[in-house]
Structure 1
Amino acid sequence: MEAVVIAGIARRVLDDLLRNPFRTVELRSARNILAVEEALDEALRLFLTYDPFEDVSTGTEGLLAELIEAREINTRIPWEESDEREVTVCRARVKLVGLGRVVEVERKDGILVAKVRELFPHEMSIG
C-alpha cells in the first residue's frame, strides 16, 4: 500500500500509539506538515517513523496510521526566543493500522511517498 512518510517522530509517540491506537500527533516540521496535507488531498495513509527524513529508504520500519483529521494552528512566540514571531503547528488525529516496512520510496515535491508492506508483530525489529 502507498503511504505518505512522516519522519523523525519521537519514540515515546510511537510507543504511545502502539499502546493506544488513537492519538493526536503535533507536528512542527514543515516537511511533515506538507506530508499531512498531501495525505489529506490524496486520501493516503501515513507511515510514521523514528528515522530522519534523509534516512528513510527500503527497509525502514515504522507504524502505519489512518489520518482521521488534521488542522493547522498558528501560534505566536516571544521574539526573544526566535527570529520569527509565528510558528505553524499541525495537529493530526491518527488511528493505528499496523506495523510496516518500506519497500520502495518516491520523492514528490519534497514529500516522501512510500510503498509499504504491512508486518506481523514478530517481524518488527524497532523498539
Structure 2
Amino acid sequence: MICVALTGISRNVIKDLVNNRVRTVEIRSPLNFFSLRGVNPGDRIFVTEASLKDIVNGTPGVIARVNEIQIMTHRMIQSNDFFYEEIESQAARAQLQFLGIGRVRRINTIEPYEPFVIEVDEMPRYIAR
C-alpha cells in the first residue's frame, strides 16, 4: 500500500498508539508537517521512530488511520523598550487510530515541502518483529 510517512516519532508515542488504539499527536517538524498536510481524514499513514535519513527497505513501524486533522498557527510576541518581535509558527494535530504493523517496501518521494510518500507492506502481528 502507498501511504504518507511520519518519521522520528518517539517510541513512547508509538507504544501508546498500539496499546490504546487511538492517540492524538502534535507535529511541529517541517517534514512531518508537510506530510500531514498531504493527507485527509480516513487516509492511512505509516508512523515510525526512524528518522528520515535512516529509513530503508524493511524499516518497521505502525500503520494508522487519520481520524481528524487540525492545522494551528502559534503566535508569540516579545517586546521591550528597544525592539518588538513577532514570531508565528504552524503545527498540525492529528488523531491517529492504530490499524496494524508494517514495514517499508520502497521509498517513493523525498521532495522538500512535499509529503514523504512510501510503499508499505502490512505485516501480520505474529510475523512482525
Inter-CA distance 62–79: structure 2 relative to 1 (3 Å threshold): farther
SS at match of 1:121: coil
8 Å CA contact 1:8, 1:51 repeated in 2: yes
Most deviating of 102-111 and 64-73: 102-111
Structure 1 residues without counterparts, runs of 5 or longer: none
1:12 aligns with 2:3: no
For residue 118 of structure 2, what is the amino acid of its counterpart?
Answer: A
- How does 1:1-127 map onto structure 2 within 5 Å? 1-40=1-40, 44-77=43-76, 79=78, 85-107=87-109, 109-110=111-112, 111-125=115-129
TM-score (norm 1): 0.85
8 Å CA contact 2:31, 2:116 repeated in 1: no
8 Å CA contact 1:47, 1:62 repeated in 2: yes
Q: Which has the larger radius of gyration?
A: 2
Distance (Å, rounded) in 2 between the aligned partners of 1:93 and 1:6: 13
8 Å CA contact 1:9, 1:48 repeated in 2: yes
RMSD: 2.2
TM-score (norm 2): 0.84
Count matched residues.
122
Q: Deviations over 1:24-52 (max 9, x none)?
A: 111001111111111229x6411000000
Taking only the aligned residue pairs, the percentage that are identical comes to: 30
Structure 2 residues without counterparts, runs of 5 or longer: 80-84
8 Å CA contact 1:65, 1:98 repeated in 2: yes
